Amino acid sequence: MERLAFSLFITITGVLFALIGPFDMVYGGPFGWHIRQPAFWQGGIELIVLATLLGAALYFLKGWLRILVVLILCEGYARQQGVDLAIVISLFYYEGIAALGTLILNRFGSPQLSCTERCLFSIVLGTLTWCCLEWILSALGPGSVHDLQIAALVVLGAALLLRRRLTVLGCVFSHVGERNMLGAILGAFVCTIVLMLFAKSSVSIDYDSLWYGLRGDRVLVAAGSVFKGLGLVSNVHYGPQAYELLLVPLMHLRSVPAILGFSIWCWVSLGVCLYVITERLHWVPMVRLLAVALALATPAVMNIAITAKGDVMGATWVLFGAYAIIAYRSTRYRPWLVIAFFAALAATVFRMSVLPYAVLTGLLALCAFAFSFLRKRENIAPTRDMTAGVWVWIASASAILFVLVTARTFLLTGVPFAEVSTLVNLSHRIGLNVRFPVGGPAPSYPGFNTDFIATILDFIFRPAALPHVIIEWSGAAFAYFLLVGFALRSTQQERFKHVWILWLLAATFFPLQLFVRYPVRGGDGNYFIVPILCMVMLGAGLVGERFCEEGSIGRTLRWLAGLFIVSSVAVALATGSWGPGTRGWDFDFSRPAHDYKARATYGINAAGLQLIDQYLKGMPPSTRMVGLIPLNPNDPLPGSWLPVRYEALENIAWTRPGYVHSPESIGAFLLLDDIRYVLLPRAVTPAKETDPLSQRVSTALALLQNRGLAESVVHTNDYVLWKLKD
């Protein structure tokens, strides 16, 4: 009776934790309209049917028939969404990187690593090596889109031919055995979510991806190399761009889902990384799969995976460092700590949002390394489960990549780090000043959040109260399973003595909310992916074998884990990139695979930029252009589709208000920064905060025209395009 009452209690609380947040986003936030759209509910039904059919095929069928049915189901859905070619292109690019890593790993050998660990090391080695090749080529000169595409075709194509198998997919589906329920669920989950994310990327694009991630051919390497001057103001273009440069070989394939798809495969690799952590901790298979599924289903993780930003890859590198520390605790082999330190170093070149966690991981690795020499000699000899060549390669490649990326930032900006306000201020104190025209970073700075408790509760139950968290929500699974795990007290201390690194990473969430002031309350949801993932994993681990029980508590916990996964996927489906789902029901299997041109045309036409676009075609993509384009509901940043290096004057005003303070300062900025074109609206009613800016820019251009330095070259019903003379 007591067990039944406890089961009822955890059921009620679990349902509340799983559903209060989503209901708040619908009824307290802007997503009530989203869930009423056919793209959400019809697209959701499609995904449920697809997952059911995939699971049945993986469980009931055998051999080649199973593979054939799964491929037919996946291809049918992908073709109907117009993303089949994008999946293949991005997959082979990612698998080429992993194949390169596998060749290096096989060269040095690591006989003690498991199959999944070998896959993770292949991804790590391949990513580091390919990134170093890209950056070295760019430093030597040939760093254009065409150059990097040729390099990818030669290097990664050769690696795939030599490897002759797909490393990442082979690893994931090696767990799908004959008549294996867990394996069938795993396979159906991975396939369905990957297809859903690709489908969402084909209909929705977030603002930041339009701002910089999808425009690497114009804002990153248009001048022929990532090391050449940009003339852009926003500091996002000057931070570590290792992830953005990885996307450049995909740019001229003219497929938005193919570019965004690289991050989706990073999502799969994040799952591989989390799984190897559970392997090192010797969790039972069901707990491993539930923990990884709960973590990967976190809405913030899925939603950031359909952007052209490196948050998923950055989180993977931090967690790879945590895995290395866990491996050291179980083997006492010091090179694991070397790997942990350089993994943390590499994480910062892919995404600076993981900087606090990378610093913590790196410092802990250094402290553990120093402390290992002070410990009394132990009776157990270190377990050497990798060769020296592997960890030396990882350390060397990470150091080379970090130096190249940091050198590029210093060369272009005058400071080694341009995205974090604290580091920029530190550079100023030692005499390094930011060069013109680079803008300042977002003003997040130390402070005390008197609203701390309410903010934490909002993260769990009221995400609609946090404007920049609502589309990258942390979910509530981490809080629920931690509470239930502590209540059950079912886990032996032995199993958790190696995971102090995960507890420390998880704990960073609270001081970051308590002692950091963000421009927007609560910060951005993607800032906290690492601690949220750690809390989800720790919560699932605390519950542990109770998931596997056949009694009422075990069945309840498994059912609740499924409820959290389904509700999280539904949230991601409704909120990702602000798009409502995928598509409504239709039988259109003729959607073009190369959708970039169609989407660019739609965005340009919706903003009335057709004549402007035609005038700019044929010009070098490095041509500098600034402008004011009124916001419209059809496209968050229509100027990003123009074929030149466009920058919105609103962003310039945000990062360097002095440049647009007066007509005189605007004119000086336009001339000093070698701006060639300025786009202004004609008959519009801009927002109050941008109206003075529009007037100041118009006055500045009139003054330049009087001096013979500017002329209007294109007039449309909506815009005037000005050309500045040399």
Question: What pLDDT digit, counting tens, does each position of 59-91 carry?
Answer: 999 888 999 999 999 999 999 999 999 999 999
Domain identity same for 422 and 375: yes
pLDDT digits (tens, 9 = 90+) for 414-440: 999 998 888 888 898 999 999 999 998
Where residue 631 falls among pLDDT bands split at 50, 70, 90? confident
Q: What confidence score (pLDDT) does residue 178 get?
A: 61
N-to-C CA span, the chain: 86
Quick one: average pLDDT of 231-255? 94
Domain identity same for 616 and 661: yes
Domain identity same for 453 and 435: no
Does the pLDDT value for residue 477 go beyond 70? yes
Looking at 411, 441, 471, which one is the last position of a domain?
441
Is the distance from CB of 160 to CB of 143 less than 8 angstroms? no
Domain identity same for 639 and 682: yes
Identity of the highest mean pLDDT range in 381-385, 542-546, 640-644: 640-644
Quick one: average pLDDT of 214-219? 93
Q: What confidence score (pLDDT) does residue 495 get?
A: 55
pLDDT digits (tens, 9 = 90+) for 531-559: 999 999 999 999 988 898 888 889 999 99
Residues in the chain: 726
Q: What confidence score (pLDDT) does residue 270 get?
A: 98
Does the pLDDT value for residue 647 go beyond 90? yes
Q: What confidence score (pLDDT) does residue 685 get?
A: 42
Domain identity same for 575 and 454: yes
Q: What confidence score (pLDDT) does residue 183 get?
A: 83
Quick one: average pLDDT of 442-449? 67
Does the pLDDT value for residue 193 go beyond 90? yes
Q: What confidence score (pLDDT) does residue 686 get?
A: 42
Beta bridge partners of 679: 627, 721
> Is position 677 within any domain?
yes
Among the ranges given (106-115, 192-201, 665-674), the one the predictor scored with the smallest mean pLDDT: 106-115
- Measured CA to CA, the distance from residue 656 to residue 661 in angstroms comes to 9
Where residue 678 falls among pLDDT bands split at 50, 70, 90? very high
Considering only CA atoms, which of 214, 219, 216, 223 is closest in space to residue 258? 214
- Measured CA to CA, the distance from residue 654 to residue 513 in angstroms comes to 24
Quick one: average pLDDT of 313-323? 98
Mean pLDDT of the chain: 91
Domain of 329 in residue numbering reads as: 322-441
Identity of the highest mean pLDDT range in 127-141, 539-553, 678-692: 127-141
> Is position 203 within any domain?
no
Looking at 441, 467, 497, which one is the last position of a domain?
441
Looking at 534, 552, 579, which one is the last position of a domain?
579
Domain identity same for 606 and 572: no
Q: What confidence score (pLDDT) does residue 377 get?
A: 55
- Measured CA to CA, the distance from residue 587 to residue 702 in angstroms comes to 54
Quick one: average pLDDT of 645-661? 93
Does the pLDDT value for residue 609 go beyond 90? yes
Where residue 690 falls among pLDDT bands split at 50, 70, 90? very low
Share of the chain above pLDDT 70, in %: 94
Where residue 330 falls among pLDDT bands split at 50, 70, 90? confident
Quick one: average pLDDT of 273-279? 96
Higher per-residue pLDDT: 543 or 494: 543
Domain identity same for 605 and 565: no
DSSP class of residue 307? Answer: S
Domain identity same for 710 and 677: yes
Does the pLDDT value for residue 492 go beyond 70? no
> Is position 658 within any domain?
yes
- Measured CA to CA, the distance from residue 529 to residue 314 in angstroms comes to 10
- Measured CA to CA, the distance from residue 385 to residue 117 in angstroms comes to 11
Domain identity same for 574 and 644: no
Q: Which amino acid is residue 632, in one-letter code?
A: N
> Is position 430 within any domain?
yes
Where residue 451 falls among pLDDT bands split at 50, 70, 90? confident
> Is position 214 within any domain?
no
Where residue 720 falls among pLDDT bands split at 50, 70, 90? very high
CA-to-CA dists, residue 175 to 60, 136, 265, 665, angstroms: 15, 38, 18, 62
Beta bridge partners of 719: 681
Domain identity same for 659 and 679: yes
Q: What confidence score (pLDDT) does residue 493 get?
A: 53
Does the pLDDT value for residue 444 go beyond 70? no
Quick one: average pLDDT of 593-609? 91
- Measured CA to CA, the distance from residue 239 to residue 606 in angstroms comes to 32
> Is position 24 within any domain?
yes
Does the pLDDT value for residue 401 go beyond 50? yes
Domain identity same for 420 and 532: no
Identity of the highest mean pLDDT range in 265-274, 415-424, 647-656: 265-274
Report the phi/psi class of residue 297: left, alpha or beta, with left for phi > 0 and alpha for psi in -120 to 50.
alpha
> Is position 674 within any domain?
yes
Q: What confidence score (pLDDT) does residue 382 get?
A: 65
- Measured CA to CA, the distance from residue 373 to residue 376 in angstroms comes to 8
Does the pLDDT value for residue 191 go beyond 70? yes
Domain identity same for 452 and 437: no
Quick one: average pLDDT of 20-36? 92
- Exposure on the CB side of residue 331, measured as CA atoms within 13 A: 19
Model pTM score: 0.95
Q: What confidence score (pLDDT) does residue 634 get?
A: 72
Does the pLDDT value for residue 379 go beyond 60? no
* Number of domains the chain contains: 3
- Measured CA to CA, the distance from residue 293 to residue 274 in angstroms comes to 10
> Is position 16 within any domain?
yes
Where residue 684 falls among pLDDT bands split at 50, 70, 90? very low
DSSP states along 465-499: GSTTTTTS---SHHHHHHHHHHHHT-S-HHHHTT-
